[in-house]
């Protein structure tokens, strides 16, 4: 968890490729416990919504911040944090494929992400994720 927290808290550097923190399935418990989802929307496996919510609320108390909100979605891109790290989470393991292809789209473009999905023989459910973009302050699910 130390590594995840350090990565999410790194200051941006000029000309650096934007960093992306992606949690898949119940791996969302790690950033949730660290307060990385504070004031953000996120998701995890449907059977772990309540557990992640508890982690997020406990982290908000520890860090004196507003808790984030767990929402049902295949993946959630909650935009870029104050350190320039894009915070993304996915539902269950297969939802992680959609989130991973979303990351490929962000880094390389949609044609490359579509080609990757085709190569994997995977039906990319790209429109079933929730993308808030960079201005999270105005976002509502």
Summarize pLDDT for 49-106 with one digit per residue, the tens. Answer: 999 999 999 999 999 999 999 999 999 999 988 888 899 999 999 999 999 999 999 9
Dist. CA 112–CA 99, nearest whole Å: 14
Asked whether residue 127 is domain-assigned, the answer is: yes
Asked whether residue 9 is domain-assigned, the answer is: no
Asked whether residue 8 is domain-assigned, the answer is: no
State how many domains the chain has. Answer: 1
Dist. CA 141–CA 129, nearest whole Å: 11
The owner of tokens 């994997």 is 120
Asked whether residue 52 is domain-assigned, the answer is: yes
Among the ranges given (67-71, 109-113, 119-123, 129-133), the one the predictor scored with the smallest mean pLDDT? 129-133
Q: Where are the alpha helices (DSSP H) in the chain?
A: 2-9, 29-34, 49-63, 93-108, 110-119
| Residue 66 and residue 73 in contact, taking contact as beta carbons nearer than 8 Å | no
Asked whether residue 51 is domain-assigned, the answer is: yes
Asked whether residue 2 is domain-assigned, the answer is: no
CATH at residue 106? 3.40.50.880
The terminus-to-terminus CA distance of the chain in angstroms comes to 28
Rg, C-alpha atoms of the chain? 15
Asked whether residue 138 is domain-assigned, the answer is: no
Among 69, 10, 1, 73, smallest CA distance to 38 is for: 69
> Domain range for residue 29?
18-131
Asked whether residue 116 is domain-assigned, the answer is: yes
Q: What is the reported pLDDT for 134?
A: 55
DSSP letter (8 states) at residue 43? -
Q: Which residue has the higher pLDDT, 72 or 8?
A: 72
Can you give the pTM of this predicted structure?
0.85
């Amino acid at each position: 968890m130390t590594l995840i927290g350090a990565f999410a808290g790194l200051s941006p550097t000029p000309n650096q490729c934007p960093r992306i923190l992606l949690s898949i399935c119940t791996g969302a418990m790690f950033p949730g416990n660290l307060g990385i989802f504070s004031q953000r929307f996120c998701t995890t496996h449907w059977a772990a919504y309540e557990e992640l919510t508890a982690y997020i609320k406990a982290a908000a108390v520890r860090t004196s911040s507003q808790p984030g909100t767990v929402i049902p979605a295949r993946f959630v891109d909650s935009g870029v944090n104050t350190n320039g790290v894009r915070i993304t989470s996915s539902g269950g393991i297969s939802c992680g494929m959609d989130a991973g292809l979303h990351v490929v789209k962000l880094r390389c473009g949609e044609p490359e992400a579509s080609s990757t999905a085709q190569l994997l023989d995977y039906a990319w459910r790209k429109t079933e994720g929730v993308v808030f973009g960079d201005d999270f302050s105005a976002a509502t699910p």
